[in-house]
Chains A and B, each alone.
Chain A
């Protein structure tokens, strides 16, 4: 049964967000406990549903200069128009572009080649901010939900996929910047925290699975739905490095590294995060 988020529910979520933000400072229980409480309170509801609904329309409606629907022209790896389970098998190598692509870069390919948008048009608002909503975040929410509950099978036969993994691994351990940080600084030990936030060990199958399968996610602190591309570039900001470019080789290589480390895990997304 399809659930629509009512206005009342949206209001409750807004209140929950404020309460989580406030209580995280005041109480000793961990942010994970707080979020778990709200999850329990709202059952299976997740504000990401608002993005999913919009994304479904963006996937199915004819759009762009060519006036065709992505559902008619977009191959996410399992065949043209196949949405079910496609996200659980990404990133992967696509022979028509000659590149390893994650969900977002593949969607941009489809919007450009299939619908006739220019690339700048396709990515102009790739991360939403308030009223300026992102089509790519909405499409991601819908397509990720089509893989919810499916085990990950990230293809790894092609040399390009192996090369992306190896590059992702090297970048994961690359220390630089004013603070000498790498991804590994925070994400290569198990059971550690920053302040009260538990850090997943992304070098292990268990840690990578826990993190990767619960992204993309609705972030309560921001009131936005966020993708893996967003998550990775915000880590680099905190690492004191420059801006990671959207759909860049490093963004996709790191996604490949994380996805392969999480391979076999069951997608539980869109998730719900602090």
Chain B
């Protein structure tokens, strides 16, 4: 008897669940990850250096594509931190700082990796698109924090150099779902280019620290 009652309840629950799923579908039809990927593949074509493989997501990209109604669990946040912490490569020779003049050029350059760009030319960092850096450059964006006087305020201690290198190399390691590109991990900037951008931030002669 109790067994039968349970089966009945189960059947009822299943029906209710099916109904509510249906009702939900009507309100907002689900577009699952597979359907989204299929639509993307049907909607794009390879051009220049941008192949269809650019539509593939790594785990970090997939997790960070959730809309604001579906926040990440703490386990998922930890996954992002672990994977991206492991991805950071520090300079083998221990040299963190290059030439701030080159760094300024990289910060000013917005091209690179677009299908309209020459793949033979080095990509820029486009830092000014989102950050204030040198005071003289007033055409800076505000998606990222101001980095004016970055080195002057923080000094050049080993820990600060290492932290900043990691931030440029793979920002997802220290700030999951940061909107900052992973310049090192995704091969946007070379190790030397990152050194030069580091110098723009830390060198006392850099216009950032004037």
A interface with B by C-beta (< 8 Å): 25, 28, 159, 162-163, 165-167, 169-182, 185-186, 188-189, 191-197, 199, 203, 236-238, 240-245, 248-251, 253
Task: Sample 26 A-B pairs with CB under 8 A, ordered by A number.
Answer: A28-B138, A159-B26, A162-B26, A166-B30, A167-B39, A169-B31, A171-B36, A174-B36, A175-B64, A176-B61, A178-B113, A178-B186, A178-B188, A180-B186, A181-B181, A182-B65, A185-B179, A194-B141, A195-B140, A237-B114, A241-B54, A242-B50, A242-B115, A248-B42, A248-B43, A250-B40
Query: What is the number of residues of chain B that contact chain A, defined by CB distance less than 8 Å?
Result: 50
State the 3 A-B residue pairs at the shortest beta-carbon distance, nearest first. A248-B43, A250-B43, A243-B47
CB contacts (< 8 Å) of A182 on chain B: these are 65
Partner of B142, one of A175, A176, A193, A244: A193
Q: Name the one of B29, B140, B188 contacting A179, with C-beta atoms under 8 angstroms.
A: B188
B35 lies within 8 A of A167 (CB): yes
Contact of B39 among A197, A203, A240, A249 (CB under 8 A): A249
**A253→B128 CA distance, assembly (Å):** 32
Which B residues between 37 and 70 are near A, CB-CB below 8 angstroms?
39-40, 42-47, 50-52, 54-57, 60-61, 64-68
A179/B47 in contact, CB under 8 A: no
A-B contact count (CB 8 A): 142
Q: B187 at the A/B interface (Cβ < 8 Å)?
A: yes
Task: Report the separation of the CA atoms of residues A30 and B50 in the bound assembly, to the nearest whole angstrom.
Answer: 32
Q: For B143, what are the chain A residues with a Cβ–Cβ distance below 8 Å?
A: 185-186, 189, 192-194, 199
B31 touches A163 (CB 8 A): yes
Most-contacted residue by chain B among A175, A238, A248 (CB, 10 A): A175
Q: How far is the CB of B43 from chain A (nearest CB, A)?
A: 4
How far does the alpha carbon of A206 sit from the alpha carbon of B9 in the complex, in Å?
47
Does B167 lie at the interface of the complex (its beta carbon under 8 Å from any beta carbon of A)? no
Most buried by A among B29, B52, B128: B29
A245 to B68, CA, bound (A): 28
Main SS of chain B's interface residues? Answer: loop
Q: Check: B139 CB closer than 8 A to any chain A CB.
A: yes
B130 interfacial by beta-carbon distance below 8 Å: yes
B182 at the A/B interface (Cβ < 8 Å)?
yes
Contact B55 A242 (CB under 8 A): yes
Give A161 Cβ to nearest chain B Cβ, in Å: 10
| Bound-complex Cα distance A244 to B47 (A) | 10
B152-210 interface with A by 8 A CB criterion: 172, 179, 181-182, 186-188
Which residues 8-35 in B have Cβ within 8 Å of A in the complex?
A: 26-31, 35
A181 to B141, CA, bound (A): 16
Q: Chain B 78-113 against A: per-residue CB contact (8 Å), 1 yes, 0 no? A: 000000000000000000000000000000000001
B69 → chain A closest CB, angstroms: 10
B50 & A240 in contact (Cβ 8 Å cutoff): yes
Q: Say yes or no: B65 contacts A173, CB within 8 Å.
A: yes
15 new A-B pairs (CB below 8 Å) besides A167-B31, A195-B141, A243-B47? Answer: A163-B31, A170-B31, A173-B67, A178-B181, A178-B188, A182-B65, A186-B143, A192-B143, A196-B139, A237-B116, A240-B50, A242-B115, A244-B44, A245-B44, A249-B43
Quick check: B43 and A175 within 8 Å, CB to CB? no
Q: How far, in angstroms, from A14 to B177 measured CA to CA in the complex? A: 43
